[in-house]
């Protein structure tokens, strides 16, 4: 099946920017699930004799949903893309006092704007944090409520959905980076395949929804040590930034701010990473 979209713009936060999915040794040269989806769509179009996909990624790490909608959505819609992914709110849900109902109102208003502009829209549910330890497990009800809203918004406005919650392979912590919030390269690969399926396309990888072939060899003591290190290395600085009202994305700009053709020889990243 040849994808009908000739242009795609992704907006969002670090999840869509592709944090912890480097193209090579340079940790700032990021790929991510959205780039992987764009590469797959472009390849299929080229194989069918169509022009390559034109793609832009405006996502910036640390952006909360209101800023995504205010700062990224207008320039994205000005590009008049066939397809736009609007993925945000995960950072908001992590914070104390988060209101998934209000987030859903902001998201739905953005979806209405995009659909009115003639764009197809791809949304994404939250991850299921049931096996993420006590801290991440505590926010699971908010994640579930926001995800339920996302499915309802998609139904009302005829959107596509990347079902991150339903991707059981993500329950393996090896799919996640050390900070337990962002995906590893393998996790981004799995999400890209889930996005293709959500868009009604066949996945590139027929095993995308299967568990990793090798068992997790870490002991309980290993996991406790990792949890201790995570609290010190990742949680404490994150709490500090929240108190100060700062973000890791301040001063950063979009990595791919304009629609440009996806060059397969340069950014072909649909293959699975090493488990």
Tell me which residue has tokens 């908001």. Answer: 92
Buried (b) or exposed (e) across 139-177, using 16+ Cβ within 10 A?
Answer: bbebbbbbbebbeebbeeeebbbbbbbebebbebbebbb
Q: Judge whether 124 lies within some domain.
A: yes
187 with 175: CB under 8 angstroms? Answer: yes
- For residue 111, being part of any structural domain is answered with yes
Q: Would you say 117 and 77 are in contact if contact means Cβ atoms under 8 Å apart? A: yes
Is position 35 within any domain? yes
- Residue 259 domain flag: no
Residue 85 forms part of a structural domain: yes
Is 275 within the bounds of a domain?
Answer: no
CATH number of the domain to which 199 belongs: 3.40.50.1110
Is the residue at 270 inside a domain? Answer: no
Residues contacting residue 138 through CB under 8 Å, at least 6 positions apart: none
Q: Quote the domain boundaries for residue 173.
A: 7-206
Q: What does the alpha-carbon distance between residue 88 and residue 85 come to, in Å, rounded to a whole number?
A: 10
pLDDT in 10s for each residue of the chain, 275 residues: 899 999 999 999 999 999 979 988 776 789 999 999 999 999 999 999 999 999 999 999 999 999 999 999 999 999 999 999 999 999 999 888 899 999 999 999 999 999 999 999 999 999 998 877 677 788 999 999 999 999 999 999 999 999 999 999 988 878 887 776 789 999 999 999 999 999 999 999 999 999 887 777 667 676 667 656 655 665 556 555 555 565 676 889 999 999 999 988 644 445 554 44
DSSP string covering 121-136, please? EEEEPPP--TTSHHHH
Domain count, the chain: 1
Q: What does DSSP assign to residue 120?
A: E
Residue 153 in any domain: the answer is yes
């Amino acid at each position: 099946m040849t994808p009908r979209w000739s242009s795609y713009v992704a907006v969002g936060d670090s999840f869509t920017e592709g944090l912890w999915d480097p193209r090579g040794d340079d940790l700032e040269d990021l790929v991510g699930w959205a780039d992987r989806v764009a590469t797959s769509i472009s390849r299929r179009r080229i194989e069918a004799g169509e022009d390559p996909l034109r793609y832009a990624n405006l996502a910036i790490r640390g952006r909360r949903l209101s800023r995504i909608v205010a700062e990224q959505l207008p320039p994205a819609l000005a590009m008049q893309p066939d397809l736009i992914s609007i993925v945000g709110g995960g950072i908001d849900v992590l914070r104390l006092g988060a209101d998934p109902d209000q987030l859903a109102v902001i998201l739905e208003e953005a979806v209405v704007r995009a659909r009115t502009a003639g764009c197809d829209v791809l949304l994404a549910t939250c991850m299921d944090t049931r096996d993420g330890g006590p801290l991440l497990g505590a926010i699971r009800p908010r994640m579930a409520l926001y995800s339920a809203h996302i499915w309802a918004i998609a139904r009302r406005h005829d959107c596509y959905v990347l079902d991150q919650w339903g991707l059981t392979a993500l329950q393996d912590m090896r799919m996640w980076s050390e900070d337990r919030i962002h995906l590893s390269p393998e996790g981004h690969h799995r999400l890209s395949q889930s996005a293709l399926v959500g868009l009604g396309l066949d996945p590139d990888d027929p095993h995308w929804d299967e568990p990793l072939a090798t068992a997790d060899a870490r002991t309980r003591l290993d996991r406790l040590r990792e949890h201790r290190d995570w609290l010190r290395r990742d949680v404490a600085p994150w709490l500090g930034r929240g108190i100060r009202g700062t973000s890791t994305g301040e001063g950063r700009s979009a990595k791919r701010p304009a629609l440009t053709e996806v060059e397969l020889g340069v950014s072909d990243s649909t293959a699975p990473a090493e488990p």
